């Protein structure tokens, strides 16, 4: 076994693996070539849900101030009666300080409808700004509808 003596390799391993030199054993033995290998545990997926009715804005969740949220998928189901006019349903998140829509359904005026939409985002998912609201917005000039939303996400702490 070779000994790792170059501090930049050791520093990289300590930083990337978030090792604490006071508690953790810092690896310094390697084979012929230095090759850092990481074993990553998949994140625990969580689900946030909300129900919107009539013309309203509903908070689905507020992201934590001390952790990053990554949304991996969004689902939306809308049911409306014939009296609901000019309706749309939108889920928005804040990314880089800007409000962005991640899923939206528009409906047809004066028509009974049951609509569904879903979207999956490639890993790592959509990173949402810390300490911001994720909202469902529903709009109609006359309304009798419901909108169910679910978001699948995971949390990464620093």
The residue to which tokens 């009798």 are assigned:
144
What is the distance in angstroms between the CA of the first residue and the CA of the last residue of the chain? 33
Does 4 have pLDDT greater than 70? no
Which residue, among 48, 37, 7, 72, has the nearest Cα to 150 in the 3D structure? 48
pLDDT in tens, 71-87: 999 999 998 888 777 67
Pairing of strands 98-106, 88-95: antiparallel
| Residue 96: pLDDT band with limits 50, 70, 90 | very high
**Nearest 5°: phi and psi at 15?**
-70, -50
Query: What residue ranges define each of the domains in the chain, with the CATH number in brackets?
Result: 1-40 (no CATH), 46-157 (2.60.120)
At residue 143, the pLDDT reads 62
């Amino acid at each position: 076994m070779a000994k790792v003596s170059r501090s930049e390799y050791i520093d990289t391993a300590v930083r990337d693996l978030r090792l604490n030199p006071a508690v953790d054993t810092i690896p310094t033995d390697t084979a012929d070539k230095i090759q850092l290998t990481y074993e990553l545990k998949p994140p625990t997926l969580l689900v946030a849900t909300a129900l919107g009715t009539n013309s309203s804005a509903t908070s689905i969740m507020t992201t934590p101030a001390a952790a990053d949220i990554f949304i991996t998928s969004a689902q939306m189901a809308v049911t409306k009666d014939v009296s609901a006019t000019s309706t749309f349903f939108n889920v928005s998140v804040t990314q880089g300080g800007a409000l962005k829509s991640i899923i939206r359904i528009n409906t047809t005026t004066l028509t009974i409808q049951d609509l569904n939409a879903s979207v999956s985002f490639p890993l790592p998912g959509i990173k949402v700004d810390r300490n911001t609201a994720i909202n469902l917005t529903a709009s109609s000039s006359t309304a009798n509808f419901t909108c169910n939303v679910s978001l699948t996400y995971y949390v990464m702490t620093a």
